[in-house]
Amino acid sequence: MDIKNFVERIKETNLFTAYNTNVDAIKYLKGEDVQKLVDEFNHKDIIKRMEEYPRIIEEPLDFVARLVYSIKTGKPAEVPIKDDKKLHEWFNKIKYDEERMGGQAGIVSNLMATLRLNKIIVYTPLLSKKQAEMFVDYDNLLYPLVENGNLVLKKVREAYREKDSIKINRIFEFKKGLKFKLNGEEITAKQSTRFIVASRPESLRIEVKDDVRRFLPDIGEMVDCAFLSGYQAIKEIYKDGKTAKYYFERAKEDIKLLKKNKNIKTHLEFASIPNVEIRKMVVDYILSSVESVGMDETEIANVLHILGYEELSNKILKDSFVEDVIEGAKILLNKFKNLEIVQIHTIYYILFVCRADNPLSNEELEECLEFSTILASTKAKLGNIKSIDDLYEGLKVPHNKYGDLLKGIVNKFNNDNYKIALSPSRYVEKPKSTVGLGDTISSGAFVYYVSLLKKKNEVRNN
């Protein structure tokens, strides 16, 4: 299918996105950069700290240990940083290569505005002037405000609040083949991926503030679907005594309010969540409330572990076999009757698993996935998608060599109970950037899915 046809399919769709946006400070690491970092410390201390596997960065050694682990294993990671002045000053001394939009809600909003979706309403609890300027300047990208007791939608760049603080994530990108030495051992990056040092400022609360919150049913009426993310930023307890439970209960209620006047489709974009209690709450409160979920193979393994499927979880973490991932997705569909679709994205494929009674055909499901692989290869190749014409660059990237093998395996699993669709990824050997690839894939597939459902319903109702 031609790019114009793909884009034509989604242009009438209206989307709500929340909650997380931030400024990404990006460093593209070379071997000598990593060597310089590890040489600041005793190499044996780094190895010892890697074995301890810190789940929060409390000092620079924690960062270096987790970065080396990520490079060595080829696995992306996102680890929160302690809100400490001296630690932030240490990170600020690093010379970053660029600053740009970060956070799933921000990345997805900009992408969908660029693809000329009819309307995108984005809500983020912090919107400083600097953050607002990270949004693309399009008329279809709007922010909800309350003025004189009424809901008003303004262009995001005009809706900033002077007093809001800025959340900055530091992102360290590295390419496959990067080399450095640690304690006499040469370490080579197995994959091109990234390591994120995620800030969690006390002022950031993952919530819709009360003034806008009472208008969520009205916002839900204006859109066809909602892409929800950022729950990984919720803390167990805050200085004012509020707890994670308080914010998760609000988040669950937000979804109910969005659906109050119109039965819109909602999507949870999972994330790397080192804190097991927060991860469990995402499953209990949010996964149990949405129709669609997007995750990578590590994230589904972590969810399965929470649900008690330790053996399967460990198999996926160890081998990443597509058969085990499909089995895991089926478990989620059986456990959570609210779920219509489980979407898994890996370096080699993107996968939809849904029940056999899903209104879309296998061919239509594959079309959703194919669209998302073009978006991903474009972003990987160019670093960003600035216009619809950029997608022709992504289309030039061939599917990876395992496509036929993977499709053959998946076809064995299609039966009377499930529909399973897979599209092999268009593999960019040395991507310009990997940040936001998962969000790009998930949002592209989800919005396309909703667009096809919407058209089917319109045909049925006419």
Q: Which residues are catalytic?
A: 439
- First-last CA distance in the chain: 26
Q: For residue 104, give the amino acid letter.
A: Q
Contacts of 65 (CB under 8 A, 6+ apart): 46, 49, 50, 52, 54
- Structure-token pair, residue 7: 């884009």
Q: Is the torsion defined by CA of 281, 286, 287, 289 positive or negative?
A: positive
User: What is the bridge-based pairing of β-strands 119-123 and 341-345?
Assistant: unpaired
Cα–Cα–Cα angle for 455, 457, 460, nearest 5°? 110
Q: What gap in Å lies between CA 388 and CA 65, rounded to an integer? A: 40
Contacts of 355 (CB under 8 A, 6+ apart): 333, 340, 417, 418, 419
Q: For residue 185, give the amino acid letter.
A: E
Among 277, 370, 33, 316, which residue's Cα sits nearest to residue 179? 33
Contacts of 78 (CB under 8 A, 6+ apart): 195, 196, 198, 232, 271, 272, 274
Q: What gap in Å lies between CA 312 and CA 335, rounded to an integer? A: 15
Contacts of 6 (CB under 8 A, 6+ apart): 371, 374, 391, 448
For 142: left if phi > 0, alpha if psi spans -120 to 50, otherwise beta; the answer is: beta
Contacts of 240 (CB under 8 A, 6+ apart): none
Among 197, 196, 209, which residue's Cα sits nearest to residue 126? 209
Q: What gap in Å lies between CA 372 and CA 351, rounded to an integer? A: 11
Q: What gap in Å lies between CA 23 and CA 132, rounded to an integer? A: 10
